Amino acid sequence: MADTIRVGTRGSALALAQSEQAARALARAAGLEFELVTVTTHGDTSKANLASMGGMGVFATELREALLGGEVDVIVHSLKDLPTAAYPGLTIAATPKRADARDVLVARDGLTLETLPEGARVGTGSPRRIAELKALRPDLAVEENFRGNIDTRIGKVSSGEVDAVILAAAGVDRLGKADAVTERFALSDWPTAPGQGALALEVRADQASDGTAFSRALQKGLAKIDHATTRAAVRAERDVLAGLEAGCAAPVATTAMVDDGMLFLTATVYALDGSRSITASHAAVLDSTSAADLLTAAAEVAQRTVAELLDAGAKELA
């Protein structure tokens, strides 16, 4: 049916919840219907350690192949799981307004990072979260081999397997699990992953020019749900990641935002054991709030930030 947008998604509860939300907004903006098409990815079925599978990119590749193969018209990613390199033949056509970019603690008995007792077991497999935890609370016992979807991880607190877990606020909120949260970390104390909380809608690059009424409506819908300041903020954050990727194996946290005519970016690189970190913070006055000026400022601010981090020895931190 040419008036139905086929939206490709991973099959986890979180992916389905966020894809449905994005698909609904897109369909309304485009004046079309939508259906969700679940694509099972290797990252969903394997119990192996993520790093050993080549990182979070495993989640994206099979979705992208389904898009290139014409099985679906658009795919929805969590932007923080998407490698920074562009994928041949595809383009990110929309980044809707970002959700809460913070990390949260889900702990037994209402505990917070400050009140967790010495030696408490905290589950997280993310190198960034491990480094941040070790920096702030070196006395805690970090369970580093910790995976599973959000429900599973929260369940390990209820069952007493761990005392606490650290999760993305956006994921917990989208699944309606905000009641389990015992603390939301301030981004200034606990910055998070590049792109966290944001979604990316990807389409085939040649669809924009194929001229059919369906493609024109789809393009119009994508442009309508794109959020210019989100796009600029995640561009700045992901440019830092890309700029460091070449020469830095250490975990990276970034926070960018557009506020009152300025674009701000702060980035921190951590030693894996949390013993050291390097932070750089830069900003630009925006010439206008046009999408083009926002993206130019984002790229320029990221470039200055990367240069400062590398100058300060970020390459030697891992």
Ligand X SMILES: NCc1[nH]cc(CCC(=O)O)c1CC(=O)O
Nearer to ligand X, 257 or 297 (CB): 257
- Segment near ligand X (CB under 6 A), from 168-176, 179-187, 249-257, 278-286? 168-176
Tell me the C-alpha to C-alpha distance, in Å, between residue 207 and each of 68, 134, 202.
11, 47, 11
81 is an active site residue: yes
What's the closest the beta carbon of residue 285 comes to ligand X, in angstroms?
A: 29
Residue ranges in 255-314 that form contacts with ligand X under rule CB under 6 A: none
- Segment near ligand X (CB under 6 A), from 40-48, 162-170, 201-209, 262-270? 162-170
Tell me the C-alpha to C-alpha distance, in Å, between residue 215 and each of 6, 103, 298.
12, 37, 29
Q: Which of 96, 123, 127, 171 binds ligand X (CB under 6 A)?
A: 171
d(CA 64, CA 72): 9
The verdict on 12 binding ligand X (CB under 6 A) reads no
Contact 90, 205 (CB under 8 A): yes
The verdict on 168 binding ligand X (CB under 6 A) reads yes
Q: Which of 9, 19, 41, 78 binds ligand X (CB under 6 A)?
A: 78
The verdict on 43 binding ligand X (CB under 6 A) reads no
Given the structure tokens 């993310």, which residue do they identify? 126
Q: Which of 67, 167, 298, 301 binds ligand X (CB under 6 A)?
A: 167
What's the closest the beta carbon of residue 81 comes to ligand X, in angstroms?
A: 5
User: How much is the CA Rg of the chain, to the nearest whole Å?
Assistant: 20
The verdict on 143 binding ligand X (CB under 6 A) reads no
- Segment near ligand X (CB under 6 A), from 73-81, 203-211, 232-240, 246-254? 73-81
Nearer to ligand X, 80 or 282 (CB): 80
The verdict on 81 binding ligand X (CB under 6 A) reads yes
- Segment near ligand X (CB under 6 A), from 24-32, 38-46, 164-172, 261-269? 164-172
Q: Which two tokens mark 204?
A: 């085939």
Q: Which of 12, 41, 196, 207 binds ligand X (CB under 6 A)?
A: 196
The verdict on 80 binding ligand X (CB under 6 A) reads yes
The verdict on 62 binding ligand X (CB under 6 A) reads no
Nearer to ligand X, 34 or 59 (CB): 59
| Residue 284 DSSP SS3 | strand
Tell me the C-alpha to C-alpha distance, in Å, between residue 39 and each of 63, 76, 152.
6, 11, 21
Q: Which of 7, 26, 76, 170 binds ligand X (CB under 6 A)?
A: 170
Q: What is the DSSP letter of 148?
A: -
d(CA 79, CA 290): 22
Strands of the chain, DSSP E: 4-9, 33-38, 74-78, 90-94, 103-107, 121-123, 141-143, 164-168, 183-184, 199-204, 252-259, 262-270, 277-285
Q: What is the DSSP letter of 80?
A: G
| Residue 35 DSSP SS3 | strand
Residue 200: partners with Cβ closer than 8 Å, 6 or more residues away = 76, 77, 78, 79, 82, 92, 94, 95
Nearer to ligand X, 104 or 218 (CB): 104
Given the structure tokens 């998407």, which residue do they identify? 82
Catalytic one of 81, 100, 226, 239: 81
- Segment near ligand X (CB under 6 A), from 78-86, 137-145, 239-247, 249-257? 78-86
How many residues bind ligand X (CB under 6 A)? The answer is 9
Which residues are near ligand X by CB under 6 A?
A: 78, 80-81, 167-168, 170-171, 196-197
Q: Which residues are catalytic?
A: 81
